[in-house]
Each structure stands twice: as structure tokens, then as C-alpha cells.
Amino acid sequence: MVSMTFPKLRDDWSLDVVNILAFLGEHNILATSQQVCMSPFCFLPRLIPAPQGLLAQRARTLPTKGDFEVRSVITGNKRPYLNYFADTLHGDGDKLAAYTTRVLHIERDHAHEKRPITRPRLFSPINIIAIFSCAISLGIAAWAVVLGDGPGLAGVLIMSFTTPLLCIGLRWTPQLAPRFRNDSKMQDCIVYRTPRGIFTVVRCDESISRWLYWHPSQVTYLVGSYSGRGVGGIAGGMMLVGSLVLFSNAMWTTKAALVVAYTVLNLLYWLAAIIPPSYSWHFELEMKEELILNKTYTKALWAAIWTSQSVDWVREGDHVPKTEAWNRWIEEARDALHRPMEDFDAQGRLTRLLR
């Protein structure tokens, strides 16, 4: 008979796993590092799982979305992707049912016209986690003082102050499009199509379209690249190693508190990694959405043409085959623009032209 034994006393349980937990969850920190470092709350001293994730490569531009063409019907501007803030505001729409035509009407919030179009949310999920983790860190440090646990207290303090040091290298702000006193109020119309045949037509004025779709999504960092790597990589790295040595020599109770803290923080940052970035930004814009459900690609295309009141973008883009039947269909669609959308049998006309 095999005899199974377990530690009988509390102190017989080894909690050196805290050093492993402190470095778990790097993927979640990498996924949220941009949101973490865009807020002043990143300078709060606090414990954070896998702080080495904050040594990530510094991006020169904000991430873009999609491999489809975004085109202005009015100005002719085009981009092979959706800009970061446009994607954050309304997404690419690819989660909608196939062949849906989505119409968006976007305008400034007239009650706050003097404010920037966008700014970070004060109480975004990532900021709430930062405040919560700072409170946890202070609580564990206070408990270490009560216990008289010198290594535990020093380890918590050093690890907590490592986080703002690492954030210095990645702290950034977006370069927003400049606003002019006489910004154009000319109406613009943006059209794009996802690979699943979902069309999005955006109606807004030219100043909004310039900022959302055409302005380069560049970022400004607090410090230069070499300074950031020096502070974060050298000073932060040395503090990480020192705090782990101190954690190994902390009292059992302090280690237990750290195990619980890192487990909870790993879970919170995992949740933060799957929350859409839109929860981290506030837009001074009003947006209305209308969905037109269609059964075929042809009907979705016609709905987008009628909503945009133009067929030029269809000819210039890669939306239909370059055949005689489709060319004739486009001409008929142009002639039907002044009529109600339901009056033109888009699918029926194409079927007859293809015979």
C-alpha cells in the first residue's frame, strides 16, 4: 500500500512559488501594455504580474485594423486599413451577419465642442486595476511592517516601484490631428468592405473624417528610446532581481499574501486583455447606427451605393468583376440613385444581365 504524506504544519508548506507567479502572465501584460502606459496612473507604485512585459518594443504608430480599402467618396482619399481610433470607435463591423450594410452618422457632441475629440477615460478598466493593485501593494507592505518582516517589506516596496520605472520607457500620448478655427464643415462619406461582404458607410463632416480615417496614428513618447531602455532595462531589471531575492527570504505569511495577490492580479489583467480598447477612451462624438440586412452580396452592394449616393467608388475599388454585365449593372444603379432604394431590383437585374 502506497503511503501518501502531506505537510502537517503551516510552515512546512513551501511558498517559493511566489517567484514564479510574479513572472507569469507576460502575454496579458504585453497585450495591455499600450493601455497601461497611456494613463498617468501607470506611475502608481504597485505590484504587477510579469513586469518584464513592460519592456516591450516601442511602436511608432498605433495599431491599424484590416486589410481592406477605406475610401472617401467625396475627396477620393484612400487607405488600405482602418485607423486605430476609427476601429476603437465603431470597429470594422465584421462581427455582423454577412452581407449587412451598416450606415453610421457621426457628428461632434455640440455640448463639448471645445474639448479634444478623444481622451483617455479616467475610470477605464485598466486604471481601476492600477488603483486596486496599488491598494493591495500598500496593504501587503503594511502587513509586513506589522509582522516585522524586513525582507518582505523591502521586496514589496522595490517590486512596486519597479513598475513606474518600467512604464517610463513606454509612456505615450497620441498625436491628434490639429484643429483649426475654421475647420471644414463639408460633408464627407467613407465606405469600406470587409472580406465577409459587410459594407460600412460613414456620414460625417470632413474634419471628423480627417481625424478618424486619414490622420497618421503616430504617438509621442515621454522619453527617448535609449533613455527608456536605460531606465527600464537596467534600473528596472536590477530591481526585479533584487525583489525576487527578498521575496525568497520573506516570512511565510507575507509569501502567502503575495501568492494570493499575484493570482488575483493575473486574473484581472487577463480580463483587461480581452476587454475592447473602446472602454479606455472617451469620444466627444455622437454616433447613430443603422443596419440594413441583405441576403446576397449584390443587395448589400446596392444598399451601400444608394446610401453613399455614388457608384464611382465601386468602379475605382475592387468590389465587382470588370465585365460587361457588371458595368451595365453599375450604370443602371447610377440611374436609380434618385429613386427609393426598394424600387431597384439589384439582384434580379444582375441575374438577367448575366444570362
Confidence at residue 190, expressed as pLDDT on a 0 to 100 scale: 97
Confidence at residue 5, expressed as pLDDT on a 0 to 100 scale: 56
Categorize the per-residue pLDDT at 341 as very low, low, confident or very high, splitting at 50, 70 and 90.
very high
Q: What is the pLDDT of residues 19-58, one digit of tens each?
A: 677 778 888 999 999 899 999 999 999 999 988 888 877 8
Place of cell 483649426: 180
Q: What is the pLDDT of residues 218-228, one digit of tens each?
A: 888 888 877 77
Categorize the per-residue pLDDT at 215 as very low, low, confident or very high, splitting at 50, 70 and 90.
confident
Please give the C-alpha separations between residue 85 and each of 80, 280, 293, 319, in angstroms, as whole numbers: 15, 11, 26, 25
Q: Is the pLDDT of residue 84 over 80?
A: yes
Q: Mean of the per-residue pLDDT values for the chain?
A: 88
Output 214 or 67, whichever has higher pLDDT.
Answer: 214
Reading the block at residue 43, the C-alpha cell is 506611475
Continuous segment of H or E residues that includes residue 221: strand 219-221
CB-neighbour burial class of residue 146 (10 A; exposed 0-12, middle 13-18, buried 19+): exposed
Confidence at residue 179, expressed as pLDDT on a 0 to 100 scale: 58
Confidence at residue 9, expressed as pLDDT on a 0 to 100 scale: 54
Confidence at residue 260, expressed as pLDDT on a 0 to 100 scale: 92
Confidence at residue 73, expressed as pLDDT on a 0 to 100 scale: 94
Nearest to 126 by CA among 237, 22, 31: 31
Q: Is the pLDDT of residue 252 over 80?
A: yes
CB-neighbour burial class of residue 91 (10 A; exposed 0-12, middle 13-18, buried 19+): middle
The most confident of 178-187, 211-220, 278-287, by mean pLDDT? 278-287
Query: Could you tell me which residues are beta bridge partners of residue 63?
Result: none
pTM score? 0.85
Q: What is the C-alpha separation between 259 and 312, in angstroms, rounded? A: 62
Per-domain residue ranges for the chain?
13-61+119-175+218-279
Q: Is the pLDDT of residue 167 over 80?
A: yes
Q: What is the pLDDT of residues 57-81, one digit of tens each?
A: 788 888 888 888 999 999 889 999 9
Place of cell 452592394: 301
Q: What is the C-alpha separation between 172 and 188, in angstroms, rounded? A: 31
Q: How many helices (H) and strands (E) does the chain have?
A: 13, 10
Q: Is the pLDDT of residue 234 over 70?
A: yes
Q: What is the pLDDT of residues 112-152, one digit of tens each?
A: 767 778 888 999 999 999 999 999 999 999 999 999 999 99
Angle, CA 313 vertex, CA 95 and CA 214 arms, to 5°: 70
Q: What is the C-alpha separation between 241 and 255, in angstroms, rounded? A: 17
Q: What is the pLDDT of residues 1-28, one digit of tens each?
A: 566 554 555 555 555 667 677 778 888 9
Confidence at residue 144, expressed as pLDDT on a 0 to 100 scale: 95
Q: What is the pLDDT of residues 271-315, one digit of tens each?
A: 999 999 899 999 999 999 999 999 999 999 999 999 999 999 998
Confidence at residue 79, expressed as pLDDT on a 0 to 100 scale: 92
Confidence at residue 101, expressed as pLDDT on a 0 to 100 scale: 97
Confidence at residue 266, expressed as pLDDT on a 0 to 100 scale: 94
Q: What is the C-alpha separation between 292 and 100, in angstroms, rounded? A: 6
Nearest to 159 by CA among 47, 43, 26: 47
